[in-house]
Amino acid sequence: MKKAFKVMNELRSQNLLCDVTIVAEDMEISAHRVVLAACSPYFHAMFTGEMSESRAKRIRIKEVDGWTLRMLIDYVYTAEIQVTEENV
């Protein structure tokens, strides 16, 4: 399983097979719906329900700042998070 997530993160880093762009503030983050949905009840509901986001290529998230969202999505793919004084 760990190898699968490593490969998916490499694909994401190269923007390969990404099927959604998550936007928060001025930050755009490419990702794979299946990875986000598998790791997050929030994204699972968004992508599998009747919400308009289930079909959208770009999704704006207003509830969180860009850097926090990037850290969360990085965590989904790597199971690692960088906590510093600046981002707490």
Task: Please say whether the beta carbons of 63 and 46 come within 8 A.
Answer: no
> Residue 88's pLDDT band (boundaries 50, 70, 90)?
low
**What structural domains does the chain harbor?**
2-78 (3.30.710.10)
Task: Please say whether the beta carbons of 39 and 79 come within 8 A.
Answer: no
Provide the token pair at 24. Answer: 């928060």
pLDDT tens for each residue of 11-38: 999 999 999 999 999 999 999 999 999 9
Evaluate if residue 48 carries a pLDDT over 70.
Answer: yes
Mean pLDDT of the region 76-85:
85
pLDDT score for 73: 96
Is the model's pTM score more than 0.85?
A: yes
